[in-house]
Amino acid sequence: MMTFPSLTVLTATATVLVVSVAVVTDVSRRRIPNVLTLPTVGVGLLIGFVTGGGWGMIAALMGAMFTPSVLMALRLGNRIGMGDVKLAAAVGSLVGPAVGALAMVLATVAGGFLAIAWMLRPGTAVSETLSPFLIGLPFLGRKYAAAQVGDESPATITIPYGVAIGIGSLLAVAIVGIG
C-alpha cells in the first residue's frame, strides 16, 4: 500500500485557498489567472524550503513539474487549458509530487462526473434522448422550457476544468490529512 507524506497546516490551507479562488474565477470568467498560479508556485517552493530545507524545496519543484504531466497524461491528449496546467503546477508545488498525482487522478474522475452532468443538463440532446428513462429522477427527467441550448455542438462545449482540479485537490488534501 502506498503511503503519502503528511501535509502541514500551511500547505493544506494554501491549497484550499488557491483552488477555491481558481474555481470561482474559472467558473465566472473561464480563466485561471497567472497572478494566482505563478506566485503560488513560488510560495510552494518557499514553504518547501522553510519546512524541509533543500530537500523540501526539491520536492516542491518536483511536484510543480510532475503534477501537470500527470494531469496531461490522464487527459490523454484531450484539450486542456494552460491555466489548468499552471493550476496543477501550483497545487503540486504546495503538496508535493505524490499528493499532487493523487489530486490529478481524483480531478480526472471528478471531470468525468462533471462532463456527464453537463451532458444531462436540461435542453441538451442527450437529456432529450434519455428523458423517458429518467422520469423517476425529478431533477433529471423534467424538461425546462427556459433552458434552451442553441446550436452547441459537442465539439465546442467546454467545461471549466479548474472545478475538477479543485475537487480533486481538496479530496487529496482530505484523504492525506494533516500530520
Q: What is the 3-state secondary structure (H, E, C) of 80-125?
A: CCHHHHHHHHHHHHHHHHHHHHHHHHHHHHHHHHHHHHHHCCCCCH
Which residues of 26-81 form beta strands (DSSP E)? none
The whole-angstrom separation of Cα 6 and Cα 130 is 44
pLDDT tier, 72 (very low <50, low <70, confident <90, very high otherwise)? confident
Confidence of residue 109 (pLDDT cuts 50, 70, 90): very high
Domain limits, the chain: 9-176
Grid cell of 61 as nine digits: 519543484
User: In 10 A of CB 31, how many CB atoms?
Assistant: 15
Predicted TM-score (pTM) of this structure: 0.81
Torsion of CA 9, 11, 17, 21, to 10 degrees: -170
pLDDT of 164 reads 95
For range 7-17, the mean pLDDT: 90
Cα–Cα–Cα angle for 103, 157, 91, nearest 5°?
A: 20
Question: For the chain, how long is the longest CA-to-CA vector?
Answer: 60
The 8-class DSSP code of residue 132 comes to G
Given this model, what pLDDT does residue 92 score? 97
SS3 state of residue 153: coil
Of 25, 165, 23, nearest in space to 95 by CA: 165
Residue range 27-31: mean pLDDT, rounded: 93
Alpha carbons 87 and 22: distance in angstroms, whole number: 8
Percent of the chain with pLDDT over 70: 75
DSSP state of 42: H
145 pLDDT exceeds 60?
no
